[in-house]
Structure formats: C-alpha cells, structure tokens
Amino acid sequence: MALEIVRVPVLSDNYVWLVHEPMSGETMVVDPAVAPPVLEKAEELGWKISQIWNTHWHPDHTGGNAEIKEVTGCTITGPAAEAERIPTLDVQVKGGDAVRLGEVTAHVIHVPAHTAGHIAFHFADEKAAFVGDTLFAMGCGRLFEGTAEQMFNNMRALEALGDETDIYCAHEYTLSNGRFALTVEPDNTALAQRMEEVVVLRDRGEPTVPTTIALEKATNPFMRARSVAELAARRAAKDAA
C-alpha cells in the first residue's frame, strides 16, 4: 500500500484517521471530531497535515476542522450537498468525483441515508475506503436523514469495492453491533467466531477496525439483508435494542 494510515481515538468511541502519502509527504485527516489529539499525533509522527476530508456534517466528524485549519493552513474537502452545514469547507465534492492526496487518487461515492449528503472515499489501487458512519464492523449507520432503500443500495455499492478492501469507519461500535448481529443470525458460525475475537480485543482495550468487505459480507446483518424490507426491519430492531 502506498498509504500509511494511523488511527487516532477521540471522544468516547470515535476514530479519526491520519492518512500519509509518503511520496509527496502529504497528510490528510478523515473526519476530525476534535483537533488536539490529531495535531499531537501528526507532530509525533513528523507529518504535516495538508488536507481534511469530511464524510458528512455531524459535529463529531467536523468539530476539529477549524482549529486544524488554523494551525496548519490545510484545505478541507467534503460533501457539496452538506456545504451549508460545514462552513469550513474549501472544496465541495459529490459522488463520481475524484480527489487527490499527493500521488494517489480516491473516488467519491455517494452513500446517503445516515445523512442526506453522506459520502465515502475509495482508494481503489490501495484497496482502502473511508466510509464515515455508513458501514461499521457488523453494523450500519442510523437512518437519520434517509431511507432503508438508500442504505440497502449503499451496502451494494460498498460490497462492489471487493472482498480485500479495508474499511475504515469512524466508530468503535463492534461489540454492541456483534451482540445484535447474533440475535439476527444465531446460527452464523463465522459471526460467532468473529465475536469471540472481538470480545478478546475489547477486553484488552484494542481496536476492532479497520474491517474488510469480506468480513462484512460474512457477518454484517445489514450487508447480508436480502431486501430493503429486511434491512429496514433489522435497523428498526437495532434502534430499539
């Protein structure tokens, strides 16, 4: 992989991602909830932040934008459809656009449902995607501004990225997601095995993401939903859990 990716845990369960492209020396931040831990980690690594990429407008994904920009002079890219809700944006993008980090290119995927203008960033050559709050390990985002049909279509779009694609989501929700998944598919042996591994990791205080498309196809009840109605029912049940 041409990218170096470092996880920065912030708040109670958020992950901010620092993405470094060594050929150019550029460093990008994905969804900074807050600024200080991100700036500290970049300084520790000797990386100069030149860009921020936002997947959606929620404050726990954009709250660090202004301070990081003030300190570094970086350029902030995010969803055009949510520009009014992200006042720090410099560059507005939509599904189908391409964005560059140094020598590598990511393609923007429109994945509405959690928010109306939610996007994901896919580095095809590096087999990595930053999906914000659309896809989680064994879960998906709540349908705050969209529909089950949109989320079902998002699952298909992300599934099409390929089994080996690493999925970098923005929260450590895996344990609770997995517990719910077991109520949906109690006979799924791949799921049961994965949950055993997740419990061990979380008991040690270790992260469970990134995940992969292959893992989600095998264990994620929302990606495995066979219809819009089934996904809707599972999302409603998870929300009520």
Average pLDDT per consecutive 10 residues, the chain (241 residues; last block may be shorter): 93 96 97 98 98 98 98 98 97 98 97 98 97 98 98 98 97 97 97 97 96 98 98 97 86
Residues with active-site annotation:
56, 58, 60-61, 114, 133, 171
Which residues, listed in sequence order, are joined to residue 10 by a DSSP beta bridge? 14
**60 annotated ligand-binding residue:** yes
Write the CATH number of the domain with boundaries 4-240. 3.60.15.10
Residue 87's pLDDT is: 95
Residue 159's pLDDT is: 98
DSSP the chain: ---EEEEEEETTTEEEEEEEETTTTEEEEE--S-SHHHHHHHHHHTPEEEEEE-SS--HHHHTTHHHHHHHH--EEEEEGGGGGG-TT-SEEE-TT-EEEETTEEEEEEE--SSSTT-EEEEETTTTEEEEETSEETTEE---SSS-HHHHHHHHHHHHTT-TT-EEEESB--HHHHHHHHHHH-TT-HHHHHHHHHHHHHHHTT-----EEHHHHHHH-TTTS-SSHHHHHHHHHHHHH-
**114 annotated ligand-binding residue:** yes
**118 annotated ligand-binding residue:** no
Residue 241's pLDDT is: 86
Residue 1's pLDDT is: 61
Residue 92's pLDDT is: 98
**61 annotated ligand-binding residue:** yes
Q: Are 55 and 170 in contact (CB under 8 A)?
A: yes
Residue 2's pLDDT is: 86
Q: What does pTM read for this prediction?
A: 0.97
Query: What is the rounded CA–CA span in Å between residue 107 and residue 120?
Result: 8
Residue 214's pLDDT is: 98
